[in-house]
Structure 1
Amino acid sequence: MRKVIDSLLLNAVRASGFTYPHAVPQAQTVQPPQSGSTPRESDLETAIQERLKGIESGKYRANTEHVLTEFAQWLYEERDIDSLSQLSPTDCRRYAQYLRECVRSEEQVLSASSANTYYAYVRAFLGWCVRDGRINTNPATQNQATEELPEDSDRPDRQFWKERDRKALLSFVDKRVDESFEEHSSLPQHRAYRDRALVYLLALSGVRGAEIFNASEDERRNGLQWSDVDLENGTLEVLEKSRAYQHVPLPERVCTALERYRRIVEPPTAEMFVFPTEHAPSKYAAVRDQLENADEQLAANDVNKLIRDHGVVVPSISTAGARNLMQRLCEDAGLEINGEYLKPHGGRRGLGHELYSKGHAELAQTALRHSSIETTHQAYSDIQAKETAKRVDDVLDS
């Protein structure tokens, strides 16, 4: 048992595309798995491959493949199971216990949060197997199994932009645009306008970062293009979390920031990305990929001039790049939020928080594109709890 666990722990550390919040370097000294430990070809393996074919998101597919492969290997080596029909709630209970031991092991390769995430992937897969007619019931949903999972006490990052911080940052990016017109300014105007439009969009529209930036783990999320922007009607078309396209309503101030930015950059084609990267190697790569005799032209011209003159499509800033940009802007603006910076997704949460706290729950639902008002209530349960406490006090004091 110990040998199998050590082997799987090492696989977990080496897995590509899946990170563990509390992985410990010592785990790298564990011996690798023995040859021949891969499960036999079976209906379980077939089901895993069919499930992966139906997942469009690159990151989610990679994570699912890693977890399910490890799960199938564990079943084969520890439970002598290679068929879905053999799988029982007891087997899922043993898997939960195994994950718990991974958390408690000396190496602590898995955090409690990661262990619960692993189990959630398996449970979701077996739920798909039920819907696909491969098994009758989902053995991973039974309390008999789930009660053995380690307690997950990790709190998710729930940062939101407070009104005063949002106003301070908006004021700062407005000031940067004005300063870009000064004679000795080192900040290019197009970049000042780009950054202002980006901040206004994050702060006031409720968009998610992955909907407007390049998410490298997802081939369908390359970034927001000007063809997705309809300033006349005040909307953006984005690929939502649900993998469906939907229109995002844009407040007037966001439309104004985008319109003025578009006037400055004058995108030659609608395929240009709204927020192109300023990463120099990416610019040079785009020029070399899209222009003939690129090296000769680069030797005689500035790369930015070639991009403008020839309509070279530069990749969108990435989600990681957007976080770095927000960190730099906050540092330059003198904003520090508990030792952190205003993160892109915090703009969405901040908008919802302010709308909800001011009594506009349905408007918050619409702005954030929640599928139901119950989702909105759940997202801002802290506000509900505070309001309930206040009302109780009012009743008791009356």
Structure 2
Amino acid sequence: MLFSFLNHLEFEKRYSEHTLSAYRRDLTQFEDFLKGAFGLEDPSEAGHSEIRAWMVDLIEQGLAATTVNRKMATLKSFYKFLHRSGEIQQNPTYKVRSLKKPRRLPAFIQETAIDKVLDEWVYSEDFEGQRDRMVIEFLYLTGVRLSELIGLRWMDLDLQKGEVKVMGKGRKYRIIPLSKSILENIIRYQKLFKETFSNVEESDYFIVRNTREPAYPMLIYRIVRNQLDLFVQTSKRSPHVLRHTFATHLLNKGADLNAVKDLLGHASLAATQVYTHNSIEKLKAVFEQAHPKA
């Protein structure tokens, strides 16, 4: 059943390997819990009470509400698949409710700080130094996710049109425009790439290690953290913070919310609206500073 479900997610839903790994891990943990707590070998025999018991167990382990909800979402997808396939008569997750979670505003970097990261820090002129700069610049100026940057190949970049084709969640493509400044730096990086590795193949990954092999998540995390440590005060220094910063700065400059949604590759407007809070807070600050009766 698990094998069929994961095949369904991979080939019909077209989920990424990262997402598939998360589903596989959650379901394996649930199977282990059923065996240990109830002696059940088959997840199809579990009912609402067993699922609710796992939820309570996860809470008692101290897991965050977002993590518990994600695991419950995995079970809901799994049992929905079993129900539609005729493996079970009733879906035991039908009455499972998600935990309430505190609303957390996305952390972002102030414009003055990101300007220092890009303009004041002296990056070495060798391939590694210019690659590191490109990582920071590309994440901030396009808003791509970490996984999207790692999967990017040279063939996805159209330097003539000034745009990049990105494969996002659900293996859906979107087009992101490239600014004049980043285009110039991409061309410079491309030249250095060619000098370092003798040539540039269309199938080459855009961001690579010194061995020409594709970058891996921890390398990108390390690059971002090392650069942001020098100028940024916030405790969050991850690649995703640069994505948050991209969205927040666009909205602060008056960008249309729907346009930002499309640039980020969000499926719904609700996921983008969280960034509007930061813009509203900025408006409040301007009001309080400038209005005589504030």
TM-score, L = length of structure 1: 0.60
Is 1:374 aligned with 2:289? no
Q: 1:247 to 1:133 in 2, by over 3 A?
A: farther
**1:231 pairs with 142, 151, 159, which one?**
159
After TM superposition, the structure 1 = structure 2 runs for residues 174-323 of structure 1, keeping only pairs within 5 Å, are: 175-176=122-123, 187-213=124-150, 223-266=151-194, 267-278=199-210, 283=211, 314-323=212-221
Unmatched 5+ residue regions in structure 2? 11-15
* Structure 1 residues 82 and 340: CA distance shift in structure 2, 3 A: closer
Q: In structure 1, what is the Cα distance between the partners aligned to 2:67 and 2:232?
A: 29
Letter in 2 for 1:65: R
Distance 1:102 1:328 in 2: 33
* SS of structure 2 residue aligned to 1:248: strand
What is the aligned partner in structure 1 of residue 34 from structure 2?
75
Structure 1 residues 137-192: Cα deviation after superposition (integer angstroms, max 9, x where no partner):
532241xx437x6x656x7683223211221111035x53xxxxxxxxxx343334
The one-letter code matched in structure 2 to 1:199 is I
Give, in whole Å, the separation in 2 of the partners of 1:168 and 1:59: 33
1:241 CA displacement: 1.6
Shift of 1:272: 2.5
Q: Which one-letter code corresponds to 1:51 in the other structure? A: F
Question: Could you give the per-residue CA deviations for residues 353-374 of structure 1, whole angstroms, max 9, x where no partner exists?
Answer: 1222333223322322323333
State the secondary structure of the residue aligned to 1:242.
helix
Residue 20 of structure 2 aligns with which residue? 61
C-alpha contact (below 8 Å) 2:109/2:232 kept by paired residues: no
SS of residue in 2 equivalent to 1:275: coil
Q: Give the letter aligned to residue 350 of structure 1.
A: T
The Cα RMSD (Å) is 3.5
Report the Cα distance in structure 1 between the residues aligned to 2:176 and 2:170, rounded to whole angstroms: 14
1:86-144 Cα distance to aligned partner (Å, 9 max, x none): 543333333323333444xxxxxx555544433332223223334444445532241xx
Q: Percent identity among equivalent residues?
A: 22
Q: Give SS of 2:190's match.
A: helix
Q: Unpaired runs of 5+ in structure 1?
A: 1-46, 104-109, 177-186, 214-222, 284-313
Kept in 2: contact 1:84–1:135 (CA 8 A):
no
Structure 2 residue aligned with 1:172: 120
Separation (CA, whole Å) in 1 of partners of 2:57 and 2:127: 54
User: Which one has more relative contact order, counting CA pairs under 8 Å at least 6 apart?
Assistant: 2
Larger Rg: 1
Residue identity in the other structure for 2:232: E
Matching residue within 55, 59, 64 for 1:100: 59
> How does the TM-score come out when normalised to structure 2?
0.78
Matching residue within 260, 271, 291 for 1:364: 260
Matched residues in 2 for 1:124 and 1:207: separation? Answer: 27
Structure-2 residue corresponding to 1:162: 110
> After TM superposition, what 4+ stretches of structure 1 lie above 6 angstroms from structure 2?
387-390
Cα distance change of structure 1 residues 124 and 227 upon mapping to structure 2, 3 Å threshold: same
Letter in 1 for 2:265: R
Give deviations 1:60-107, integer Å, cap 9, x for gaps: 33332232233234335544655666543333333323333444xxxx
Structure 1 residues 226, 337: CA separation in 2 closer, same or farther (over 3 Å shift)?
same
